[in-house]
């Protein structure tokens, strides 16, 4: 039955939830704090608790009965019972155990033992934590945080909330994005869209401030760093380029301070063995010191390990010396993004600051120096991402004239013969996107093709990240190079990848949704881009050398097969000459000289050309054998063969 339109008097339009139906909210699931907001006719409203606080600390404590305590109370429990409290779980989304960062040699989590079948070819395994006697995955813990955000929204809006736009770091890979979507599903919410955090922030600024032109979004949160360059024109938000580090954020600042304090303790007390609880408390002390020194010049903090307390003094200048290498990494990424987009810093009209870590004075100073102007901070950096997510949620459920065009952070492609990467979707391609490319078989009679999907900027498969493998079968047996196999890559608006391969003659098709079990290791994504720049010339040399070897081997394979079938067409001298040249080619392709390989292959093809012509003549005679002219005339009249003009 069609739904009736509800028409209200001006000013009497009900707020979200007043009509009793489900609504969609915007959620910033942060490493340190999380925020939920709702899109309204006048803009977006951040939902707050009874004390007016918008931030829910992304900290979960587990009671003996298995219930989860999320937020400020869990933060306070960190001091008394750190063994039952989990923080910064976002850093583990889609990651393996080798990605965990220790504090003075101790990992601040109790890990569950891994089953043998959980191991992966990369040597890492899906993380599971032991908390209060329970074994929990990062997805389950994140779901508890999302459930608390949902409950806040339902209490405030007086209605059911079961749909959301959830933000993720721009450099979250497929595994981390899938884990985030799964966490929302566990929390009872459908994810309408995953939006990159810098894009959400730009959306909030663009609509609230009417900004147009090129803007940079510098997003330094608790666990991740992203920078995006956007061109905002008449409601179209196009990401020109993006960069980042999925394991660089305020938590690393806390680590730096905690390591300094623990080093001072070692000077006083000697080596100490930290428990998991000690490591958590050291990180919390480092965080408190960092936050205090953002507003004051110096301070003293007490740190307890075991039964012994120690007092530590730190000045802002000393803090900045500790943090400078980390902050410079973000500035280097900013420079690379500008270069990728072909944009000069003077072309950037403004820089939007996102994330609580941008409150560090040195961060603001370096951003101002990088872009040559004071960064924008009109919207609370802790709330701006949720505001953008809420606006996008409203747009997806109620319509909008705004268009978001995000990009892929790294190139996607497949492995071809010789271990070469053929890029199908280059990095910084706007999404959603689908691109197809045709490939063919390498050997005569080939009935199947292995499809290996990879991610990265280098030219060889061994230098890139493996994402998925599958096989296309039932290819008709043809001569090498005759089959037409179309490989299609599709990246949706959430940044998730689907790959399909189709043989054009038979229609045989295979498809795989790329969902690896965990994500990139700590510095892998940033390292991919760095290595591509550092080794670009060498990679290209290796690529063209490998292509020459592959082509030479193809010629050898085809010629060897032809000699076995029709070698009687050659004189003894001709055969000896060709076989001698084959031996020369086999020796030359072991070397590193691409030009030499090309020269000996060209000579082999010239020597074998008369042989190829004789084979063609034999094939034509065999095809015509036993046929009469009237047969061909009849076939031409029926349109079965083309007529000769």
Among residues 154, 197, 278, 382, the one annotated as catalytic is 197
Strand partners, 422: 414
90 catalytic per annotation: yes
| Cα 201 to Cα 181: distance, rounded to the nearest angstrom | 20
Can you spell out the DSSP letters for 298-343? EEEEEEEETTEEEEEEEEHHHHHHHHHHHHHHHHHHHHHHHHHHT-
What is the C-alpha R_g of the chain? 31
245 catalytic per annotation: no
| Cα 351 to Cα 619: distance, rounded to the nearest angstrom | 70
* Residue 644, SS3 per DSSP: coil
Among residues 28, 99, 245, 254, the one annotated as catalytic is 28
| Cα 235 to Cα 212: distance, rounded to the nearest angstrom | 9
As given in the structure block, the two tokens for residue 585 are 């080619």
| Cα 380 to Cα 319: distance, rounded to the nearest angstrom | 24
| Cα 491 to Cα 622: distance, rounded to the nearest angstrom | 50
Among residues 97, 99, 219, 226, the one annotated as catalytic is 219
Contact 469, 450 (CB under 8 A): yes
**Cα distances (angstroms) measured from residue 563 to each of 242, 548, 558:** 54, 22, 9
Peptide bond into 432 cis (omega under 30): yes
CB atoms within 10 A of CB 43: 14
CA atoms within 13 A on the CB side of 309: 4
219 catalytic per annotation: yes
Write the CB contacts of 105 (distance below 8 Å, at least 6 apart in sequence). Answer: 274
| Cα 456 to Cα 255: distance, rounded to the nearest angstrom | 29
- Nearest Cα to 440, choosing from 429, 449, 432? 449
Among residues 90, 280, 290, 423, the one annotated as catalytic is 90
Please give the positions annotated as active site: 28, 90, 197, 219
């Amino acid at each position: 039955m069609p739904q009736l339109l509800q028409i209200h008097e001006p000013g009497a339009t009900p707020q979200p939830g007043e009509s009793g139906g489900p609504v969609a909210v915007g959620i910033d699931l942060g490493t340190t704090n999380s925020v939920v907001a709702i899109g309204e006719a006048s803009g977006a409203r951040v939902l707050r608790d009874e004390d007016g606080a918008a931030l829910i600390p992304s900290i979960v404590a587990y009671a003996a009965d298995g219930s989860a305590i999320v937020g400020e109370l869990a933060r306070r429990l960190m001091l008394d019972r750190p063994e039952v409290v989990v923080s910064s779980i976002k850093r583990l989304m889609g990651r393996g155990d080798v990605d965990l960062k220790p504090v003075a040699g101790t990992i601040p989590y109790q890990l569950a033992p891994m089953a043998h079948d959980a191991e992966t070819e990369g040597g890492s395994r899906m993380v599971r934590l032991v908390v209060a006697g329970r074994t929990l995955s990062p997805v389950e813990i994140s779901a508890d945080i999302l459930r608390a955000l949902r409950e806040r929204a339902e209490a405030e809006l007086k209605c059911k909330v079961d749909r959301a736009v959830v933000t993720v770091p721009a450099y979250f890979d497929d595994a981390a994005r899938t884990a985030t979507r799964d966490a929302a599903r566990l929390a009872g919410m459908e994810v309408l869209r995953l939006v990159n955090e810098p894009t959400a922030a730009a959306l909030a600024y663009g609509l609230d401030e009417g900004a147009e032109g090129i803007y940079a979004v510098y997003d330094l949160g608790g666990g991740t760093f992203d920078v995006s360059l956007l061109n905002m024109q008449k409601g179209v938000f196009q990401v020109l380029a993006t960069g980042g580090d999925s394991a660089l954020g305020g938590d690393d600042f806390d680590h730096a301070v905690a390591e300094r304090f623990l080093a001072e303790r070692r000077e006083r007390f000697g080596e100490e063995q930290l428990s998991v609880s000690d490591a958590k408390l050291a990180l919390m002390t480092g965080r408190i010191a960092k936050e205090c020194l953002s507003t004051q010049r110096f301070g003293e903090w007490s740190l307890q390990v075991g039964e012994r307390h120690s007092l530590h003094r730190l000045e802002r200048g000393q803090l900045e010396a500790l943090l400078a290498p980390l902050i410079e990494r973000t500035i280097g990424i900013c420079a690379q993004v500008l270069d990728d987009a072909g944009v000069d810093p003077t072309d950037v009209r403004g820089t939007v600051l996102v994330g609580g870590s941008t409150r560090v004075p040195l961060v603001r100073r370096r951003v101002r120096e990088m872009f040559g102007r004071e960064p924008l901070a009109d919207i609370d950096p802790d709330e701006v991402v949720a505001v953008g997510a809420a606006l996008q949620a409203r747009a997806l459920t109620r319509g909008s004239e705004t268009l978001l065009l995000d990009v892929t952070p790294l190139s996607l492609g497949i492995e071809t013969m010789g271990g070469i990467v053929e890029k199908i979707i280059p990095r910084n391609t706007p999404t959603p996107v689908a691109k197809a490319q045709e490939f063919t078989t390498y050997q005569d009679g080939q009935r199947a093709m292995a499809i290996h999907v990879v991610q990265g900027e280098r030219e060889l498969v061994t230098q890139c990240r493996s994402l998925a493998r599958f096989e296309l079968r039932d290819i008709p047996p043809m001569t090498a190079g005759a089959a037409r196999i179309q490989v299609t890559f599709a990246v949706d608006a959430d940044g998730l990848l689907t790959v399909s391969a189709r043989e054009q003659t038979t229609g045989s098709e295979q498809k795989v949704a790329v969902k690896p079990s965990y994500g990139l290791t700590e510095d892998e994504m940033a390292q991919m881009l760095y290595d591509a720049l550092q080794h670009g010339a060498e990679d290209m040399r290796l690529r063209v050398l490998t292509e020459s070897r592959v082509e030479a081997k193809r010629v050898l394979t085809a010629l060897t097969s032809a000699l076995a079938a029709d070698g009687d067409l050659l004189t003894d001298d001709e055969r000896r000459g060709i076989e001698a040249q084959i031996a020369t080619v086999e020796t030359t392709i072991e070397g590193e000289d691409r030009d030499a390989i090309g020269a000996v292959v060209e000579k082999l093809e010239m020597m074998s050309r008369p042989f190829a012509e004789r084979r063609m003549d034999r094939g034509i005679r065999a095809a015509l054998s036993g046929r009469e002219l009237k047969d061909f005339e009849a076939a031409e009249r029926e349109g079965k063969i083309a007529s000769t003009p």
